[in-house]
C-alpha cells in the first residue's frame, strides 16, 4: 500500500510539474526560447543566417510565405498575382504585376507600410556597396510604382519573366527611417550595413511590422521581443518572447530542465542526434516537453575553397569524397536519422535525381587517386607533394556537439588516406559574419535550409562569388565558376514550364556532382522542443520558419 501511495505521489508531482510549466508561461506571459547561434545582422535584406531569419520573423513579415504544406500564401498583401486573377501579365521579355499591401499593415511607430518602402528596398538591394545575399533579384526589377489613389497598391515591373516571380517580390524596409541613412552612407563599402538602424539602434520600433518589436538586444546573451501595439492582426498570447543565445548546444538541455528556457528553436537549436536522445528522455522520464520532427530541405555539406592551391585540384576533392564513409557517420552520429546526400536537392524537390556521379566509400580508390596526383605518403603517414604537406583546416560553428563529432570523425577517416585535418571552430557570428563571407577558410562545415524549386543562383552562379568589389554580395563561398552551370541557372530561372525546368535542374545537379565544389554530407529532418500544452505550433521544414505564425501559438 505504501508503494502505491509513493507511486501516486510521484505521478502527482510529475503532473503538477507539467501543469506548472504551462501555467508559468500563462502567468508571466513570457516564452523563453533557447537558440544555439547568434544573429549576424538584423537587417532583413542583409541577413542570411537561419537563426537570424527565425528571430526576425517574429517582428518582420514577408509579403508572401511558404506554408509547412509547401503552399504559397499571401501574408502582407491581399493576394498573390497570377495570370488567372489578372494581377500578372507579360510585358515584353519581362512581367508586370500588381500587388496591394493590406491596409492595416504599418510599422511599429504607426507609419503605414506603402509602396515607397518596397521601392526603397529595391534601391538598397541594388546598392553596389551593400552586402546582399542575392542582388540579382533586385536588379531584375525596373520599377515600383504606387497607384495615385492608393499608396499601398504597387505596380512592379520585372526585366525578365522568371518562374519564381512571386517569391522575388522584395520585402519592404521602412524608408522613412532607413532612407536618410542609405543616402548618407551608400557610397562607402558596407557603409549602409554598418550604419543601418538595424545595426545601430535595433530597438527602434519603426523598423518592424510584425506582431512583435525588438525591445532589448544584449550581444552574447539575449534578444527580447515585445508585443507591437501597432500590429493590427491577431494579437499574440505572449507579451514577451525572449530569445536566449546559448552558443553551446550541449547546455540547452540543462536550461530546459532548469526552466530558464521552455523551448528550443528549430534554427540553431538541438542537432538531430541531440533531439533524438532528448525525445527518448522526455518519454521515459515524463518531462513536460515535446520534441517535434519534420522532414525538410536541410542540407549538410562541406564547402571547398577552390582558391586553395590544394583544393583547386579536382583529384584531391574526389579523393576526400571517396575517403569518407558517410553511411557509417550517419548511423553512428545521427542514429541513422539522416540520409546520404549526393547534391543539394532533397526528395521534396521536383529537380531531385539520384542519377548523378556518386563517391561510394573506398579508401583504396582515394589512395590511388592521390598517388596518381603526385601526393606521396611521408614517414608520418601524411602525404607530401613538392615539399608541401597535404594539410587542411576545417571550420564550423563552435559549441555545437554534432559539429565537433563530425569533424573528429572526418579527421580520423582522412588520416587513413594520408590527409592531415586540423579543426578550428568559431562563434556563429564570426563564422558566418566574417570567415565564410570573406572566404577565409579551407573547408567550411555547415547546413543550409532552402525551399523546393529554388534557383541556386546565390550559391552557384559565378557572379555570386562575394568579393570586395561587389561588397561581398552573394553566397558562392567556394568560388565555383562553370560557364555551363551559369547558363543552366540563367535558363531555368526564365523557364515557366515546370517539367522543362526540372530537366534543366537535373543537368545542373549532374555538373555539381561531377565538379564537386562542395562535399555533400546528408539531408536531415528539422526539429524543435516545445513546452507541453503549446497548441497551433506547426514545425516548418524549410526557410519560412514557424515563427511566421507565432500569433497563433497558445496554451
Count of H-run helices and E-run strands, the chain: 17, 20
What's the confidence (pLDDT) of residue 12? 30
Phi and psi at 170, nearest 5°, equal -65, 140
What's the confidence (pLDDT) of residue 219? 87
Class of domain 62-182: alpha beta
Phi and psi at 369, nearest 5°, equal -60, -45
Class of domain 18-59+210-296+525-555: alpha beta
CA dihedral angle for residue 53, residue 54, residue 58, residue 63, rounded to 10 degrees: 50
The 10 Å CB-count burial string (b at 16+, else e) for 119-139 is bbbbbbbebebbbbbbbbbbe
The contacts of residue 58 (CB under 8 Å, 6+ apart) are 210, 211, 212, 225, 241, 547, 550
Q: Which CATH number fits domain 297-524: 1.10.287.110, 3.40.50.150, 3.90.700.10, 3.10.105.10?
A: 3.10.105.10
For residue 156, the SS3 value is: strand
- Measured CA to CA in angstroms, residue 459 lies from 139, 154, 169, 443, 505 at distances of 17, 30, 19, 16, 14
Fold match between 18-59+210-296+525-555 and 62-182?
no
pLDDT along the chain (555 residues), means of 10: 32 34 52 88 88 94 91 94 94 95 97 98 95 89 96 96 86 97 94 96 98 95 96 94 88 92 91 89 93 89 98 98 97 88 91 94 98 96 96 94 94 98 93 93 93 90 92 92 97 91 96 98 92 93 91 92
What's the confidence (pLDDT) of residue 529? 96
Q: Give the integer Cα–Cα distance in Å for 238 and 236.
A: 6
What's the confidence (pLDDT) of residue 337? 82
Q: Give the integer Cα–Cα distance in Å for 310 and 315.
A: 10
Q: Give the integer Cα–Cα distance in Å for 444 and 63.
A: 33
| Per-domain residue ranges of the chain | 18-59+210-296+525-555, 62-182, 297-524
The string of DSSP letters for 369-399 reads HHHHTT-EE-TTS-EEETTEE-EEEEE-BTT
- Please, what sign has the CA dihedral across residues 458, 135, 306, 52? negative
Amino acid at each position: 500500500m505504501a508503494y502505491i501511495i509513493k507511486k501516486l505521489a510521484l505521478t502527482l508531482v510529475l503532473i503538477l510539474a507539467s501543469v506548472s510549466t504551462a501555467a508559468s508561461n500563462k502567468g508571466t506571459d513570457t516564452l523563453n526560447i533557447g537558440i544555439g547561434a547568434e544573429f549576424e545582422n538584423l537587417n532583413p535584406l542583409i541577413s542570411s543566417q537561419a537563426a537570424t531569419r527565425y528571430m526576425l520573423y517574429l517582428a518582420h513579415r514577408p509579403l508572401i510565405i511558404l506554408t509547412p504544406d509547401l503552399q504559397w500564401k499571401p501574408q502582407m498583401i491581399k493576394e498573390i498575382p497570377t495570370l488567372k486573377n489578372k494581377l500578372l501579365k507579360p510585358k515584353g521579355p519581362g512581367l508586370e504585376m500588381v500587388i496591394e499591401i493590406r491596409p492595416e499593415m504599418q510599422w511599429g511607430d504607426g507609419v503605414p507600410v506603402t509602396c515607397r518602402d518596397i521601392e526603397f528596398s529595391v534601391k538598397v538591394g541594388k546598392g553596389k556597396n551593400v552586402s546582399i545575399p542575392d542582388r540579382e533579384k533586385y536588379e531584375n526589377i525596373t520599377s515600383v510604382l504606387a497607384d495615385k489613389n492608393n499608396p499601398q497598391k504597387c505596380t512592379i515591373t520585372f526585366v525578365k519573366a522568371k518562374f519564381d516571380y512571386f517569391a522575388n517580390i522584395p520585402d519592404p524596409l521602412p524608408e522613412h527611417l532607413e532612407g536618410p541613412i542609405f543616402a548618407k552612407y551608400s557610397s562607402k563599402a558596407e557603409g549602409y550595413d554598418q550604419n543601418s538602424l538595424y545595426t545601430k539602434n535595433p530597438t527602434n520600433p519603426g523598423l518592424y511590422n510584425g506582431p512583435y518589436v525588438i525591445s532589448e538586444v544584449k550581444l552574447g546573451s539575449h534578444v527580447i521581443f515585445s508585443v507591437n501595439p501597432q500590429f493590427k492582426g491577431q494579437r499574440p498570447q505572449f507579451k514577451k518572447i525572449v530569445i536566449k543565445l546559448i552558443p553551446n548546444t550541449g547546455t540547452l538541455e540543462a536550461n530546459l530542465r532548469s526552466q530558464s528556457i521552455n523551448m528550443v528553436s528549430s534554427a540553431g537549436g538541438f542537432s538531430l542526434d541531440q533531439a533524438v536522445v532528448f525525445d527518448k528522455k522526455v518519454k521515459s522520464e515524463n518531462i513536460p516537453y515535446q520534441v517535434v520532427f519534420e522532414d525538410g530541405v536541410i542540407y549538410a555539406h562541406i564547402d571547398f575553397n577552390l582558391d586553395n592551391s590544394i583544393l583547386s585540384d579536382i583529384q584531391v576533392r574526389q579523393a576526400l569524397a571517396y575517403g569518407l564513409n558517410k553511411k557509417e557517420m550517419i548511423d553512428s552520429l545521427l542514429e541513422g536519422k539522416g540520409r546520404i546526400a549526393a547534391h543539394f536537392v532533397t526528395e521534396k524537390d521536383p529537380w531531385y535525381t539520384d542519377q548523378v556521379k556518386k563517391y561510394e566509400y573506398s579508401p583504396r580508390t582515394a589512395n590511388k587517386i592521390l598517388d596518381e596526383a603526385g601526393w606521396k605518403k611521408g614517414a608520418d603517414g601524411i602525404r607530401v607533394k613538392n615539399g608541401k604537406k597535404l594539410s587542411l583546416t576545417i571550420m564550423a560553428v563552435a559549441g555545437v556537439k554534432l559539429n565537433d563529432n563530425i569533424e573528429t570523425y572526418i579527421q580520423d577517416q582522412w588520416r587513413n588516406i594520408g590527409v592531415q585535418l586540423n579543426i578550428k571552430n568559431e562563434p556563429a557570428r564570426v563564422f558566418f559574419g566574417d570567415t565564410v563571407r570573406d572566404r577565409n577558410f579551407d573547408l567550411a562545415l555547415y547546413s543550409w535550409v532552402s525551399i523546393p524549386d529554388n534557383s541556386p543562383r546565390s550559391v552557384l552562379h559565378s557572379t555570386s562569388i562575394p568579393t570586395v568589389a561587389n561588397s561581398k554580395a552573394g553566397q558562392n563561398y567556394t568560388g565555383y565558376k562553370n560557364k555551363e552551370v551559369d547558363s543552366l541557372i540563367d535558363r531555368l530561372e526564365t523557364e515557366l514550364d515546370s517539367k522543362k525546368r526540372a530537366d534543366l535542374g537535373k543537368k545542373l545537379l549532374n555538373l555539381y556532382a561531377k565538379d564537386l565544389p562542395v562535399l555533400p554530407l546528408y539531408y536531415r529532418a528539422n526539429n524543435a522542443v516545445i513546452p507541453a500544452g503549446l497548441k497551433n505550433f506547426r514545425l516548418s521544414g524549410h526557410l519560412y520558419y514557424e515563427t511566421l505564425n507565432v500569433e497563433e501559438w497558445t496554451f
